Amino acid sequence: MRAGRFITFEGPEGGGKTTQAKRLIARLREAGRDVLYTREPGGTPTGEAIRDILQHNKAGEPICDEAEVFLFAASRAQLVRTVILPALARGTIVVCDRFADSTTAYQGYGRGFPVEQMLAINAFAVGEAVPDITLLLDVPIAIGFERIHARQQELFQDADRIEREARAFHDRVRAGYLELAQRWPERFRRVDATQAPDDVERAVWELVSGVLP
């Protein structure tokens, strides 16, 4: 078994993934653990440039669905080889805000690409960087978007390209995540993200404690 541990946060929009990832990191550091936070897409200069293209249409042209898939895979491959695998080899706990399951859920189930094809592309991109535990912060789509709209108003933000997708798209994404959790029950752990943030944090900590060395 590798020295470090790889923890990923997944789920529909508005589930509180970033908030809970940062809370988990704070707890791990209080416990004296060496922790690295990263995110997908992003986490490297190349990945962050790709993130701008994917989220904010920085290229200035519509992105075809096939290009979208490979942009996510390219960002992920760079992150894995330059950040995640070296950190795991050092014994670091890596916490990632979204990872390969997002592409399967959003581009596979959401966009309608063959799921097995998505899994093959992801496997090529990530290599040995399979998460030890994936925390699925599950929230009904209506509740998630209520939270997103409240955040956007508070921070004067516009919806990104994915957030502007139709409700039916996001319903398919959520259903896809739940199907993935059934397919890999040894890795996925579903957390009810409709709970108060403190309750979600406690649930996450209990689950993560079980995989720490």
Q: Where are the domains of the chain?
A: 7-209
Q: For 48-57, 98-107, 136-145, 195-204, which range has the lowest pLDDT when averaged over its residues? A: 48-57
**Nearest CA-CA partner of 88 in 7, 4, 29, 211:** 4
Average pLDDT across the chain, whole number: 94
pLDDT > 90: what percent of the chain? 83
Confidence grade of residue 61 (pLDDT, cut at 50, 70, 90): confident
**Nearest CA-CA partner of 139 in 97, 190, 208, 103:** 190
Cα separation of 118 and 177, whole Å? 13
Q: How does strand 188-192 pair with strand 35-39?
A: unpaired
Q: What is the CATH number of domain 7-209?
A: 3.40.50.300
